[in-house]
Amino acid sequence: MAAIRPERRGRRRLSGLTPRERELYRWILQRFATAGPPSGEATRATAVELGLDPDEALAALARDDLVHTDRDGRPVVAYPFSAHERGHRVLINEIHEVEAMCAIDALGIAAMLDQPIEVRSHDPISGREIRVHATPEAVASWQPETAVVLAGSSSCEGPSYCGCCDVLNFFESTENARRYLREHANVQGMPISILDAAAAGRAIFGAMLKET
C-alpha cells in the first residue's frame, strides 16, 4: 500500500481543528458529495452559524491542508473533492457525479461516503480510459485489468494539491507508469496496484465524516 504518514490517516487529519471547525469541514465535504461545491457566501454563512469567524476557520482548514479556497472564499480543493476538472470523475451510487483531486482520493470516496462508486479516468500517456467500480469495503473490478496507480510526488513541501495530486494518476499498465517516471525527472514514486491504491484511499478518508 502507498506509504501514508500517520497524521494523514482518517480522523487524525482533523486533530488540529476545534469541534466547530470539524463541523464546517464535514459540511463542506457533504456539499461537494451531494450538491456540488458550495459558494464562498454559503461557506462563510455556515461558519457564522457554527459560531466561527469565517476567515479564521478557513485559514485553519488551509493550514492543515484540508480545504483551500479561491479569492472569493469558495472551496476549490476539499480532499478528496475538487471544484475544477482533474480528470478523475466519480459517480456516487449511480446518482451524483463529483470530481476527485487524484486517483487515490477518487478511490477513497466510497469508504468516506459508505456508497458504491464508479471512477472514470484516463492514462496520461496513452489516453486510454480506465474505469473502476468500488464498494465501501473493497474494489469490485477495474478495466483494463492491467491498470495501476502511480503513487508519488514532485515535492515534499507544501499542500498536497501542489506536490502530489498531479502525480497520483491511473495508468493502463505498469510500463506506462514507469515511462511517466522516466519522462518526469522531478517525480519520485512507484506504480502500485488498484487494490493497494484503494486501501490507501480508505485509510485516508474512511472515517472523515464520522463524529468524533
Per-residue pLDDT of the chain (212 residues; tens, 9 = 90+): 455 554 455 556 788 899 999 999 999 999 999 989 999 999 999 999 999 999 999 999 999 999 999 988 999 999 999 999 999 999 999 899 999 999 999 999 999 999 999 999 999 999 999 999 999 887 879 999 999 999 988 765 656 666 677 889 999 999 999 999 999 998 989 999 999 999 999 989 987 887 65
| Structural domains of the chain ordered from first start | 6-81 (1.10.10), 89-205 (3.30.450.410)
Q: What is the pTM of this model?
A: 0.89
Give long-range contacts, CB 8 A cutoff, 24+ apart: 140-145.
140/116, 142/194, 144/172, 144/173
Sign of the Cα torsion 147, 151, 155, 160 reads positive
Is the peptide bond prior to 6 cis by the omega test (within 30 degrees of 0)? no
